[in-house]
Structure 1
């Protein structure tokens, strides 16, 4: 007669209650994965090797296994909160000098004083990925680059518009004057930039030239001002000269061979420069029996840009938005997956390390292959089902009580045996 079976049952039930209690305690822990105690029966080997005893000697805890199932995704207001929807783990490292990888599903991240993305645990693990526009190589701690985008000098302006072919074809007032709207048929304006991001307002004006126009070739003279001053500059009493001319055939299509608009040579402000003359491109401009209308206009320069915000896409790309309207890729968040996630060893603080049973880590980009997608401004909730855990708790309590009864009966039988005379 033995107390072994009942004692092992008590230990097993206590271990099960410990596991359930840990699940319940972490029901609100972001990224937590519930665990389940798994048991195995025990038999004593026979000394004469004829087989095991048919009567077992109790139960043992074979394993405490975590269930890496998807938790619910809850939205937040933190732009650095990231939820994984699907397979994969965030890859982190404990410090800038210790590259030993750590893994987790808790996507509650924040920036440290140096701009590195870290998780909020006591260890402050660094989120890793590819920096900037790098696409490949070993993952490194991700740092948000807050430096400004430098200015870019304008080298070309593209203008597409429609010129009205209908009468009246001649401006009411001649010669052309930028200050008199009756001396031209329409105008467009564009802001260009020098090497320091200084702005220059280039305004162009369009006047139909009836002297040189024919039935098959219509000429429009183009005039310009820069910051309100005539371009090119002239001395009164001379009149302002056009910077070039646009020619159209009888179908209203621009004739590139005869349409000549020389590049603009602007005088930069003190300390600045231009890469070169600014080319004027009117490809796509038409002349039809419709009102004058700008269709599209663009230029290839820009002012300096200050990082105003950044966002993380579902593919893990960190995209920065700048005050000049430009965007820039600041980094790439990567995910890691394992052939056997249950081989991960929990370290606490929602972090794991890869044990020998996990298999080789597979690193990849979110949304590709077997990796899930990322959802910014969201976190993955714990996958603990409280209702199920409370029912399991009742069952474990009953098992504990039942095993205590077997010990009580064993004790009663032993007392009876000892009392025999």
Structure 2
């Protein structure tokens, strides 16, 4: 009889534990990134009254007689199912779709979290503003003008340098493509203004010198008289100041050449060859790249007293190709520069984060470059993580070591910026579990009450 009392006590205690977990789940129903807990019960050791007996020739076997001594908590599991996603519109808010955790640092301590409520502190560091934990990732490195993120390196603090200068970049490459109208009239020897205008296709594009000053590059295409598949092209940087800029264009070097070159097409309208003013011609196949140079005003002269000249490459496309190159067909002239890689001084105005966690900065000068990438961690047994408060977890001896890498690899999910993961607590389920837990608690209390009543009856036998 006493056993039933202690069994009831164990039931009361452990249903109370289950109620504590349910209460914690409900209290965190609106906590971003929260993962609900689940309590599993198991029976405790049983007292054996009689053991089992094997069958004999005369009688069959006998099962053991055992009385259970109550129950205990088998486990309190963290259920890492996906929570719903809520759009916030805040660019630094991040949610993980799928498996994985954000990596956070407090000094040398490392924590992991599903809650991506992040912001930028006064030093530009990406942090959790609630506790100051620093988000870990990789900063981009400059490699020959390209921004490279080495995700194989050890993660560090992510710093977003809002307001940082982006130094001016001189134009190094300009590309032209599209079509020159085959039916453009030739320009006579002594053309009128209307004939000159009708027979010339003119394009302009702005390029930049090493100071970030913009310069207009003007190219004039006109058909060569007597040659139906040949065009003369003149190039002028800042045509209103052409006498000073002294534009020159040629193959390999701009020394000893003028500011003109010639385009030759075959009978199918494909580019056949290009020649500069010195008679140098392009290779019979491959991409055509000319070198152009011009004088830069207000710059230091060289030892000979000559003004500083800026040189850039001018690509006209590929010999014999109809794609991304200059062609000659009986259609409207559309040839123009579609690319140049220079820009003026700018400042970091804004940034965005894509699904791989890559942070891209948008500068006031129009340039876009990679700043860094947010790291993500995964575990062999994420249920083995220890809760450390503030929506964070830490490694345990049963979680396995953190596998830190970029999102979308090795089973890791993807990131969504401007979004937060909501709690995965289902209120309907929790309230139902609360009812079941309450009934279990009441039933165990009734077991104790009934056992006490039976003991009282026994005690009253001697009266």
State the TM-score, normalized to the length of structure 1: 0.85
Q: Measure, in 2, the Cα distance between the counterparts of 1:232 and 1:269.
A: 8
**TM-aligned CA deviation for residue 27 of structure 1:** 1.0
Check conservation: 2:48, 2:66, Cα contact below 8 A. no
Cα deviation code 1:135-194 (max 9, x no counterpart): 3121112111332222111234333353344363226964999xx964861211111111
Structure 2 gap ranges (5+): 53-63, 141-148, 247-256, 279-289, 301-306, 318-324
- Give the counterpart of 1:137 among 145, 153, 163: 153
Q: Structure 1 residues 343, 362: CA separation in 2 closer, same or farther (over 3 Å shift)?
A: same
| Alignment correspondent of 1:14 | 16
**Given the alignment of the two structures, is residue 403 of structure 1 paired with residue 424 of structure 2, yes or no?**
no
Check conservation: 1:174, 1:183, Cα contact below 8 A. no
Q: Measure, in 1, the Cα distance between the counterparts of 2:386 and 2:230.
A: 80
| Alignment correspondent of 2:34 | 32
1:212-227 map, 5 Å: 213-214=226-227, 218-224=230-236, 226=238
Check conservation: 2:209, 2:296, Cα contact below 8 A. yes
| Alignment correspondent of 1:248 | 264
| Alignment correspondent of 1:237 | none
Q: Structure 1 residues 176, 267: CA separation in 2 closer, same or farther (over 3 Å shift)?
A: farther
1:4-153 map, 5 Å: 4-43=6-45, 54-94=66-106, 98-121=107-130, 123-132=131-140, 133-146=149-162, 147-153=164-170
Q: Measure, in 2, the Cα distance between the counterparts of 1:80 and 1:413.
A: 65
Check conservation: 2:138, 2:373, Cα contact below 8 A. yes
**Given the alignment of the two structures, is residue 162 of structure 1 paired with residue 203 of structure 2, yes or no?**
no
Check conservation: 1:161, 1:296, Cα contact below 8 A. no
Q: Structure 1 residues 224, 156: CA separation in 2 closer, same or farther (over 3 Å shift)?
A: same
2:19 alignment partner, SS class: helix
Tell me which moved more, 391-400 or 34-43: 34-43
Tell me which moved more, 168-177 or 304-313: 168-177
Cα deviation code 1:179-233 (max 9, x no counterpart): x9648612111111111211111222234442xx446x63425253515233567
1:222 alignment partner, SS class: strand
Check conservation: 2:204, 2:336, Cα contact below 8 A. no
| Alignment correspondent of 1:270 | 298
Q: Structure 1 residues 69, 232: CA separation in 2 closer, same or farther (over 3 Å shift)?
A: same
**TM-aligned CA deviation for residue 331 of structure 1:** 1.3
| Alignment correspondent of 2:143 | none
Check conservation: 2:316, 2:326, Cα contact below 8 A. yes
2:372 alignment partner, SS class: strand
Q: Structure 1 residues 175, 303: CA separation in 2 closer, same or farther (over 3 Å shift)?
A: farther
| Alignment correspondent of 1:358 | 399
CA RMSD of aligned residues (A): 3.2
Q: Measure, in 2, the Cα distance between the counterparts of 1:315 and 1:137.
A: 17
Q: Structure 1 residues 358, 167: CA separation in 2 closer, same or farther (over 3 Å shift)?
A: closer
Check conservation: 2:296, 2:310, Cα contact below 8 A. no
Q: Structure 1 residues 387, 369: CA separation in 2 closer, same or farther (over 3 Å shift)?
A: same
2:335 alignment partner, SS class: strand
Cα deviation code 1:17-42 (max 9, x no counterpart): 11111111111111111111222222
Q: Measure, in 1, the Cα distance between the counterparts of 2:309 and 2:448.
A: 92
Q: Structure 1 residues 214, 207: CA separation in 2 closer, same or farther (over 3 Å shift)?
A: closer
Q: Measure, in 1, the Cα distance between the counterparts of 2:329 and 2:438.
A: 88
Tell me which moved more, 110-119 or 254-263: 254-263
2:454 alignment partner, SS class: helix
Check conservation: 1:71, 1:382, Cα contact below 8 A. yes
Structure 1 gap ranges (5+): 235-240
Q: How many residues align?
A: 405
Q: Structure 1 residues 19, 275: CA separation in 2 closer, same or farther (over 3 Å shift)?
A: farther
